[in-house]
Amino acid sequence: MFNCDKPQDECGVFGIYSNQKRDLANTIYYGLYALQHRGQEAAGMAITDNDRIKYYKNIGLVSEVFESKINEMPEGDIALGHVLYDSRVKKGENNVVNTQPIVFKGKAGFFSLAMNGKITNCEELRQQLIEEGCVFQTRLDIEVIGTLINKFCAKKDIASGIKKAMDKLEGSFAIVVITTNELFAIRDKYGMRPLCYGKHFDEYYVASESCALDATEAKFVRDIKPGEILQINSTGTKSIYMENINPHPCIFEYVYTARADSVIDGTSVYKARFNCGRMLAKNFNREVDLVAGVPDSAIVAARGFAYESGIPYVDVLEKNRYVGRTFIQPSQYEREASVKIKLNAHRMNIQGKRIALVDDSLVRGTTSKKIVELLKSLGAKEVHFILASPMVKHPCYTGIDIESYEELMAANYSLKEMEKKLGCDSLTFMNIEDLVSCCKSDIMDSFCSACFDKKYYGVDPKGDK
């Protein structure tokens, strides 16, 4: 899946607790680079500088934001970083204030926060804090969280403030907090967003995904558990737990969001996707000449499909490696040409072929339609569209930007209607039980799959539709 008409997770976090002052900015930079797929709108980092915390954040890719600034960051012993996904970050307004992290001055001195996720009761909390005398300068959830932490902070014990604040929050979140002498890695009580940590000698590394640990010297230790607040300081680590823990991580991380070389809650994302592809192949009984995946995210599932079915995997589409944020879409060809430019199509592998085309998921369907058109225009005889996930029928309220039923194809059309709209010869979805069986592990066997089946962390907080 190579464009933006599918759901996007929000953000990636990274943190380091070092045993000594050193150039942490470089390491944070590498970590954020590896997490760039989780957010390309903005990036930021904060580093302790004795009894203060210095930070820099801006709009742009990690490389753009830090190109000229990384050498100006101080040496420090604790640091965090953030990559932002936010479709509202546009020019004109002062959007830098709406990027992460924020550095706060509170009862216990300076502390900084960065988060991946979404607090569903954030506006109620914000209004309550305003009434209590606080003001707010951004639309960020972390501004509310930072204020809550300070409010509940007893004396200079910020850990107590964090524990109490976390118990007030509803929603999904993976949070890193640093003070001038501690680091906290926090995962919501459902474990909705991934978060793990690793070690390298005496240094602790925290990251949204294990692939970011792989980009550094650190070795993976384990995932932060749902509802766990991992406190890291000079005495080592200590786990504090929230109330009402109810593990239901977001299954969409395996389907699309996470990088294939990450391992989340005991399951390799690569393996989960590969197995999805195999599972789909078992039930697929049409005659086709080849299997292909939609780049980049569906390639692995397509490989699994080919492996299981014995049908050859053949490259039909590749992402143009120079397509980026700065791509200009002039008006003229816009709609017609954009897919042609973003994808390199292997005409000769397509012509006259019956193609089993695997994609990870079908949300709005806009790009899928164009891809089918492209393949047909290049002479594909048949295009069988196979999704490595069930129909996306419900909005997500906790971190994925599908917010209304209107935009969901599967919520509005029957399978036959969708086939017709997409122009494909057949359309196949995975069922939810099969998906869960591919994603579960010894340490995690329940998921939030609300976008497919409306079961929001096993419950149903909103009664829409």
Torsion, CA 288, CA 293, CA 299, CA 304, rounded to 10: -20
Torsion, CA 343, CA 347, CA 348, CA 351, rounded to 10: 130
Q: How far apart are CA 42 and CA 60, in angstroms?
A: 5
| Binding of residue 319 to a copy of itself (CB under 8 A) | yes
| Binding of residue 36 to a copy of itself (CB under 8 A) | yes
| Only segment of 179-187, 195-203, 343-351, 405-413 that touches a copy of itself (CB under 8 A) | 343-351
Listed residue (229, 96, 251) closest to 174, CA to CA: 229
The amino acid that residue 171 corresponds to is G
Residue from 50, 327, 433, 462 in contact with a copy of itself (CB under 8 A): 327
Complex with a copy of itself: residue 245 or 314, whichever CB lies closer: 314
What single string gives the DSSP state of each residue in 305-319? Answer: HHHHH-PPB---EEE
Complex with a copy of itself: residue 270 or 429, whichever CB lies closer: 270
| Binding of residue 285 to a copy of itself (CB under 8 A) | no
13, 206 in Cβ contact below 8 A? yes
Residue from 6, 38, 54, 193 in contact with a copy of itself (CB under 8 A): 54
Site track 139-158 with a copy of itself (rule: CB under 8 A), x = hit? ----x--xx--xx-------
- Taking CB under 8 A as the criterion, which residues in 264-283 touch a copy of itself? 268, 270-271
Residue 105's H or E segment, with its range, is strand 102-106
Q: What's the Cα-to-Cα distance from 250 to each of 74, 332, 436, rounded to whole Å?
A: 36, 40, 11
315, 344 in Cβ contact below 8 A? no
| Binding of residue 424 to a copy of itself (CB under 8 A) | no
| Only segment of 173-181, 230-238, 344-352, 406-414 that touches a copy of itself (CB under 8 A) | 344-352
- Taking CB under 8 A as the criterion, which residues in 351-380 touch a copy of itself? none
Complex with a copy of itself: residue 126 or 189, whichever CB lies closer: 126
Q: Least distance from C-beta 107 to a copy of itself, angstroms? A: 6
Complex with a copy of itself: residue 107 or 421, whichever CB lies closer: 107
> Catalytic residue at 211?
no
| Binding of residue 94 to a copy of itself (CB under 8 A) | yes
- Taking CB under 8 A as the criterion, which residues in 290-309 touch a copy of itself? 296, 299-300, 303, 307
Q: Residue 66 carries which DSSP code?
A: H
| Only segment of 63-71, 184-192, 249-257, 406-414 that touches a copy of itself (CB under 8 A) | 63-71
The count of residues interacting with a copy of itself (CB under 8 A) is: 91
| Only segment of 240-248, 311-319, 398-406, 437-445 that touches a copy of itself (CB under 8 A) | 311-319
Q: How far apart are CA 177 and CA 162, in angstroms?
A: 9
210, 263 in Cβ contact below 8 A? yes
The amino acid that residue 192 corresponds to is M
| Binding of residue 26 to a copy of itself (CB under 8 A) | yes
Q: How far apart are CA 199 and CA 35, in angstroms?
A: 18
Complex with a copy of itself: residue 25 or 206, whichever CB lies closer: 25
Q: Least distance from C-beta 96 to a copy of itself, angstroms? A: 6
Q: How far apart are CA 195 and CA 14, in angstroms?
A: 9
| Binding of residue 260 to a copy of itself (CB under 8 A) | yes
Complex with a copy of itself: residue 321 or 416, whichever CB lies closer: 321
Sheet of 52-59, strands arranged across: 52-59, 42-49, 76-84, 12-22, 203-207, 196-200, 219-223
CA angle (445 as vertex; 415, 269 as ends), nearest 5: 70
| Binding of residue 443 to a copy of itself (CB under 8 A) | no
| Binding of residue 330 to a copy of itself (CB under 8 A) | yes
290, 311 in Cβ contact below 8 A? yes
Q: Least distance from C-beta 314 to a copy of itself, angstroms? A: 8
- Taking CB under 8 A as the criterion, which residues in 163-222 touch a copy of itself? 211, 214-216
Q: Least distance from C-beta 380 to a copy of itself, angstroms? A: 15
Sheet of 290-293, strands arranged across: 290-293, 354-359, 382-387, 426-428
| Binding of residue 14 to a copy of itself (CB under 8 A) | no
| Binding of residue 66 to a copy of itself (CB under 8 A) | yes
Torsion, CA 423, CA 428, CA 431, CA 437, rounded to 10: -120
Q: Which residues are catalytic?
A: 11
